[in-house]
Amino acid sequence: MSRPTVLLLHGPNLNLLGSREPDVYGTATLDDHVATATAAADAHGFDLVALQSNHEGVLIDAIHEARRDHSGIIVNPGAFTHSSWAIHDALAAFDGPVVELHLSNPDAREPWRRTSVVSPVATGSIAGFGGHGYRLAVDAMAALLA
């Protein structure tokens, strides 16, 4: 039997992790985080398919394709977290579990980051644990898929 797959989706500017505001986001690169998450998923018996895009429509297309191809979605939408009702609607049309993930704790930062339009359509959210959040998000997804 083939293993379930989970989409690991990253939004804008997260391709710059490692050099972008390291005091906020740390020095690990996106590839480092994907490798951590992939190893954790493998231990739980599922595979990750990772995609990063700076373009809202590409993220929405990936969420639509996940309806057919993937059992769950782990998503760090970057700044689209706070503004994209289109990503909200795409996730609302996805039937499986959705884990919202942030490296920083947006609630502890500028006021405009305190609203997430993604949280209402996520099964749950993990924020503020830096790179450890990837392992936590994968553990949460494993529990949701069990």
Determine if 52 is a binding residue for ligand DQA (CB under 6 A).
no
Task: Work out which of 8, 66, 71, 78 binds ligand DQA, going by CB under 6 A.
Answer: 78
* Under 8 Å between Cβ of 42 and 6: no
* Under 8 Å between Cβ of 104 and 20: no
Determine if 102 is a binding residue for ligand DQA (CB under 6 A).
yes
Catalytic sites, residue numbers: 25, 102
- Between 4 and 119, CB nearer to ligand DQA: 119
Determine if 9 is a binding residue for ligand DQA (CB under 6 A).
no
What x-and-dash track marks residues 57-76 binding ligand DQA by CB under 6 A?
A: -------------------x
Q: How far apart are CA 104 and CA 46, in angstroms?
A: 26
Q: How far apart are CA 43 and CA 142, in angstroms?
A: 10
DSSP 8-state class, residue 104: S
- Between 4 and 50, CB nearer to ligand DQA: 50
SS3 145: helix
